[in-house]
Amino acid sequence: MPAEKPESRLEKTVELPIGPYHPAYKEPEMFKLYVDGEEIVDAKIRIGYQHRGIEYLAQRMTIQQIVFLVERICGICSTSHPICFCQAVEDAMNLEVPDRARYIRVLIGELERIHSHLLWAGVALHLIGYDTLFMYFWRYREPVCELLEELTGNRQHYAMICPGGVRRDIDLKKMKPKILRVLDEIKEPIAKVGEAVAKDKLVKARMVGVGVLTKQDALKYCTVGPTARGSGLKIDVRVDEPYAAYKEVGVDIKVLSEGDVMAKTLVRVLEVLESIEIIKRCLDAMPNGPIKAEFKEYPVAEGVGKYEAPRGEDIHYVRLQGTTVPYRLKVRAPTYANLPSLVPQLIGESIADAPIIIGSIDPCFSCTERVSVVDVKEGRTLTLTMSEFNEFGRKRKNPLKVK
Amino acid sequence: MTGLVTWARLKSPWLFHFNSASCNNCDIELVDAITPRFDVERFGILVEGSPRHADILVVTGFVNRQAAPRLRRIYEQMSNPKIVIALGSCATSGGIFANSYNAAGPVDRVIPVDVYIPGCPPRPQAIIDGVVKALMKLQSLGGGKK
Amino acid sequence: MDWLYIVKLIVYVVLVGVVAAPNIGLFFTWMHRKLGARMQWRIGPPLYQPWADVVKLLSKETIIPATAHKTTFLVAPPLAVASAVLAIVIMTPFAPPVQVYHISFTGDVIVVLYLLTMPAIAAMIGGSASGNPYASVGVQREMTLIFAYELPFIMAALVPILKVGSLRLADIIGYQLEHGPILFSVSGFLACVVLIMVMQAKLTLPPFDIPDAKTEIVAGPYTEYSGASLALFKLAHAVMLFAVPLFISDLCLGGLIVRSLSDPVTLTLDIVLIVVKLVVLVLIAAFIRFFNPRIRIDQAFGMFWKTATVIAVVALALSFVPLPYF
């Protein structure tokens, strides 16, 4: 519950900046924490350090090029954005993706979820100073990265997706035993260490009861992903609005109700184990067939794609204008929805817990840095200066209506 | 005496990592380099928390306008001799974001760069190779800048 | 004035303080890093690594930040190293009957107790002189931590003192030579447990590396230090890795004593024991370090004021019992 901040208390407080370039996080962000001794009395979050002008660039690229652009929104959820974007395009074009392509998307997406959660688990434990387990988790992440390299050609940034399907096929006869072997290799150690983390006395001292996000707050702040599922909300785009092959493959949503950092950690560990099962089911059920649906026309239409990224619900909105270059792309990444919920989680906690609380929502600031760039007068090319750009944010123009 | 100092500098390169609007992939591959599979601590490489403690500044990202003045400040905070490595395609040339309105980079428009490691992302092996080349440059410069 | 004695004393101080202490300390630093690496499925740095680190730092430019108070900023690191080295010099490794340089004096235990706290205080002085918010938080934490562990430390150190009835290290070691190490008694064992807990905090190692928390406050009190000043702080830390286990060894494990220089069998045995005692303590510190996360300062405070103090009080009480093995 957010604490009252009497003015006199704020006067005594020290402003401790975490960021923008803090060794704890690999990405820049700015949290202004008002601390009284070791206790946080207020928190202000300022983002914008990762801003790269992606939506602006998207208005100058063809749809196929945009797939590579959005892939580089974030390195960790590197296939979430392309799949989501392609789903938006396919929604706009009313394009039906062939079955095999849908299953391959599930396969790559779930492998990415495993590697992202293991990465996060390592980083989270590093944040509380437990470097040995950080090394442990990353050690078991390596086989997954190498597997992805064998499947797709790159450890991250797989470049597998295109509008209408996937770009490359997977030779199941060769790869299936390899995939199963890697999955078996990591399943036991992850389950074991997940239990150890849940039971270790000192880890519990740092994680249990820390950074609690109550169910009401989670609903109020519209949190998504494991952050919400750790607070008792049973939401998951793969089940609520199934896409790709999830309706056939099925997902067992993991929910915990405590809402503290430990709950969020355990939700992610359980999701890794669930992803392993999903991949196995997906491999068993994968049909043969084409991997890409061709399209000839670029209609004037708009489409929305939703995807359950490792961090939560990712939404892409695209508005096509009849040419290869879209009129507008809008991305709402999951961390953007989860960031405001940090304020109730941080207030009242100790400054020492701030990194792990912030880390517990699995913040991906690369995904988050979106600011709208809207062409008000059509046909006019805007070269925005910093001040013009800020002006736009202040005026809050309405989104364009569909003609 | 100089031989001893040069040897020490080659054997103990401490890195400071700066993310100037990167998609994070290069950063993850950098962190990957300290994990058991690659383990760069064998070469004495440590990733430090304070720029004042480091010899090598590793910059990822295409340097957007918020990052540029801060990058310069971090560079100035480091004590000599120091080396700068531009990690990834974005740091080297701006990458896919080169035409963005928010670009103030790439890195060599903001601070002097010694080694460029291209790749999207560069593999940990490439990063290690780049750091080794940086060290060789340090050696040939007779101990780095200034 | 016996000039020969003074010359021998100076040679001894130089040999132990300037030659042996830093090098053994750096060796233990390497041991920690190598052990940690192996425990984490890695290979770890080569043997010469800590020396390379120190030489490299010495060769770098020392920047004094504009917000810093110049003199204090520069005085803190040498202060840290000097106290740690002096502590080792005073903790005479050799005691009767082999008297090499018997510089132990009454009250030297108290002096060593103070000297072993000085590096932490020097870190606080340096951190406060830095003018950096991360350093301030680090100083605050260091202060709280010292406040937490000093009392159990002194109480645990009192146990051997009370048992022996003397404030002289040489006497304590002599007592242990006759009656066996203080560890082999209940009160001594408990005192040793408390001393090991405190050792972990004095060396700012996990779970008590709170002032140094890299992911929370950059580098704590050392954030603004660079070049030679930082090298001295790192050296102080390395020497402490030797000094604190040496102190514990002197108090509870019988010290690093050689009973006779003439008999080769006992000589070898004693040398092996010396190495084993120190190495075991270093290993314990390393194991606790690599298998624990960092705890919060309030939790550390609780641990010392509740658990450690209680055990120390029990140890003190038991040390008064005149029965053997108590």
The 10s digit of each residue's pLDDT in C11-67 is 877 887 888 889 999 999 999 999 888 888 888 899 999 999 999 888 888 888 888
Residue B117 is inside which H or E element, if any?
strand B115-117
Give the pairing of strands B115-117 and A328-332. unpaired
Residue C81 has pLDDT above 90, yes or no: yes
Percent of chain A with pLDDT over 90: 21
Closest of B124, B128, B126, B132 to residue B29, by C-alpha: B124
Task: Give which of C132, C296, C297 to mutate to test A binding, by max A Cβ within 10 Å.
Answer: C296
Q: What Å distances lie between residue C250 and A191, C162, C268, CA to CA?
A: 45, 15, 19
Residue C170 has pLDDT above 60, yes or no: yes
Domain coverage including residue C272: 3-318
Total structural domains in chain C? 1
What length is written for chain B? Answer: 146
Q: Which chains touch C (3 or more CB pairs under 8 A)?
A: A, B
Residue with the two structure tokens 């945009």 = A66
In the three-class reduction of DSSP (H, G, I as helix; E, B as strand; rest coil), residue B64 is classed as strand
Report if residue C120 sits inside a domain.
yes
Q: What is the Cα–Cα distance from A372 to A24, expressed in whole angstroms?
A: 29
Average pLDDT value over all residues in chain A: 79
At residue A2 the predicted structure's pLDDT band, cuts being 50, 70 and 90, is very low
Q: Per-domain residue ranges for chain B?
A: 13-142
Please report the pLDDT score of residue A13 as a whole number.
52
A351: left (phi over 0), alpha (psi -120 to 50) or beta: alpha
Give the DSSP letter of residue B106: -
At residue C76 the predicted structure's pLDDT band, cuts being 50, 70 and 90, is very high
A95-109, C60-74, C215-229: segment of lowest average pLDDT: C215-229
Name the token pair of B92. 């080297």
Amino acid letter for position A232: G
Of B4, B11, B41, the CB nearest to C44: B41
Sign of CA dihedral C104, C107, C113, C119: negative
Please report the pLDDT score of residue C162 as a whole number.
87
Please report the pLDDT score of residue A7 as a whole number.
40
Apex A140 CA angle, A137 and A142, nearest 5: 115
Of B9, B44, B50, the CB nearest to C218: B50
Residue with the two structure tokens 């939506």 = A55
In the three-class reduction of DSSP (H, G, I as helix; E, B as strand; rest coil), residue B18 is classed as strand
User: Per-residue pLDDT tens for B25-62?
Assistant: 888 888 888 888 888 888 888 888 788 888 899 999 88
User: Per-residue pLDDT tens for A169-199?
Assistant: 888 888 899 999 999 999 999 999 888 888 8
Exposure of C150 by Cβ count < 10 A (0-12 exposed, 13-18 middle, 19+ buried)?
A: middle
Of C41, C136, C296, the CB nearest to A135: C41
Name the token pair of A125. 């434990």
Task: Give which of A15, A16, A126, A353 to mutate to test C binding, by max C Cβ within 10 Å.
Answer: A16
Q: What is the Cα–Cα distance from C267 to C48, expressed in whole angstroms?
A: 29
Residue C8 has pLDDT above 50, yes or no: yes
Of C41, C43, C219, the CB nearest to B50: C219
Name the token pair of B42. 């064998």
Q: Is B81 within 8 Å of chain C by CB?
A: yes
* Nearest CA distance, A245 vs chain B (angstrom): 27
Q: Which chains touch A (3 or more CB pairs under 8 A)?
A: B, C
Q: Is C59 within 8 Å of chain B by CB?
A: yes
What length is written for chain C? Answer: 326
Please report the pLDDT score of residue B111 as a whole number.
92
* Nearest CA distance, B91 vs chain C (angstrom): 24
Please report the pLDDT score of residue C185 as a whole number.
82
Amino acid letter for position A208: V
Question: Using the beta-carbon criterion (under 8 Å), do B95 and A21 form an inter-chain contact?
Answer: no
Please report the pLDDT score of residue A385 as a whole number.
33
Residue C206 has pLDDT above 90, yes or no: no
Q: What is the Cα–Cα distance from C308 to C193, expressed in whole angstroms?
A: 9
- Residue pair C257/C277 in contact by the 8 Å Cβ criterion: no
Q: Is A222 within 8 Å of chain C by CB?
A: no
Q: Is B49 within 8 Å of chain C by CB?
A: yes
Fold of B13-142: Rossmann fold (3.40.50)
Question: What's the distance, CA C61 to chain centroid?
Answer: 29
- SS3 string of chain A? CCCCCCHHHHHCCEEEEECCCCCCCCCCCEEEEEEECCEEEEEEEECCCCCCCHHHHHCCCCHHHHHHHHHCCCCCCCCHHHHHHHHHHHHHHCCCCCHHHHHHHHHHHHHHHHHHHHHHHHHHHHHCCCHHHHHHHHHHHHHHHHHHHHHHCCCCCCCCEECCEECCCCCHHHHHHHHHHHHHHHHHHHHHHHHHHHHCHHHHHHHCCCCCCCHHHHHHCCCCHHHHHCCCCCCCHHHHCCCCCHHHHCCCCCCCCCCCHHHHHHHHHHHHHHHHHHHHHHHHHCCCCCCECCCCCCCEEEEEEEEEECCEEEEEEEEEECCCCCCEEEEECHHHHHHHHHHHHHCCCEHHHHHHHHHHCCCCHHHHCCCCCCCCCCCCCCCCCHHHHHHHHHHCCCCCCCC
Say whether the peptide bond before residue A98 is cis (omega within 30 degrees of 0): no
Q: Is C218 within 8 Å of chain B by CB?
A: yes
* Nearest CA distance, C162 vs chain A (angstrom): 34
Beta bridge partners of A306: A315
Q: What is the Cα–Cα distance from A13 to A35, expressed in whole angstroms?
A: 5
Say whether the peptide bond before residue A310 is cis (omega within 30 degrees of 0): no
Q: Could you tell me if the ipTM is greater than 0.95?
A: no
Question: Using the beta-carbon criterion (under 8 Å), do C296 and A352 form an inter-chain contact?
Answer: yes
First vs last C-alpha separation in chain A? 45
Question: Using the beta-carbon criterion (under 8 Å), do B66 and A155 form an inter-chain contact?
Answer: no
In the three-class reduction of DSSP (H, G, I as helix; E, B as strand; rest coil), residue B126 is classed as helix
What is the rounded average pLDDT of the residues B63-87? 86
Of A16, A126, A132, the CB nearest to C291: A132
Question: Using the beta-carbon criterion (under 8 Å), do B32 and A384 form an inter-chain contact?
Answer: no
Q: Which chains touch B (3 or more CB pairs under 8 A)?
A: A, C
Residue B115 is inside which H or E element, if any?
strand B115-117
First vs last C-alpha separation in chain B? 18
User: Per-residue pLDDT tens for C287-307?
Assistant: 888 888 878 778 888 888 888
Question: What structural domains and CATH numbers belong to chain A?
Answer: 54-343 (1.10.645.10), 373-403 (no CATH)
Report if residue C323 sits inside a domain.
no
At residue B144 the predicted structure's pLDDT band, cuts being 50, 70 and 90, is very low
Closest of A83, A48, A44 to residue A308, by C-alpha: A83
Q: Is B96 within 8 Å of chain C by CB?
A: no
Report if residue C186 sits inside a domain.
yes
Please report the pLDDT score of residue A3 as a whole number.
39
In the three-class reduction of DSSP (H, G, I as helix; E, B as strand; rest coil), residue B133 is classed as helix
User: Per-residue pLDDT tens for C240-261?
Assistant: 999 999 888 888 887 777 666 6
Please report the pLDDT score of residue B142 as a whole number.
56
Q: What is the Cα–Cα distance from A37 to A47, expressed in whole angstroms?
A: 25
At residue A114 the predicted structure's pLDDT band, cuts being 50, 70 and 90, is very high
Name the token pair of A52. 């790269």
Task: Give which of B18, B25, B74 to mutate to test A binding, by max A Cβ within 10 Å.
Answer: B25
Looking at chain A, which residue has its C-alpha nearest residue C303? A202
Question: Using the beta-carbon criterion (under 8 Å), do C215 and A205 form an inter-chain contact?
Answer: no
Tell me how many residue pairs between chain B and chain C have CB atoms under 8 A apart: 87
* Nearest CA distance, B133 vs chain C (angstrom): 18
What length is written for chain A? Answer: 403
User: Per-residue pLDDT tens for A237-275?
Assistant: 888 888 888 888 888 888 998 888 899 999 999 999 999
* Nearest CA distance, B102 vs chain C (angstrom): 28
Task: Give which of C35, C216, C223 to mutate to test A binding, by max A Cβ within 10 Å.
Answer: C216
Looking at chain B, which residue has its C-alpha nearest residue C221? B50
Give B34's contacts (C-beta < 8 A, 6+ positions apart): B40, B41, B45, B47
Of A28, A52, A139, the CB nearest to B100: A52
Q: Is A383 within 8 Å of chain B by CB?
A: yes
Please report the pLDDT score of residue B116 as a whole number.
93
Name the token pair of C82. 């000097």
- Residue pair B59/B20 in contact by the 8 Å Cβ criterion: yes
Residue A375 has pLDDT above 70, yes or no: no
Please report the pLDDT score of residue C153 as a whole number.
92
Report if residue C134 sits inside a domain.
yes
User: Per-residue pLDDT tens for A318-345?
Assistant: 999 888 899 989 998 888 888 888 888 8
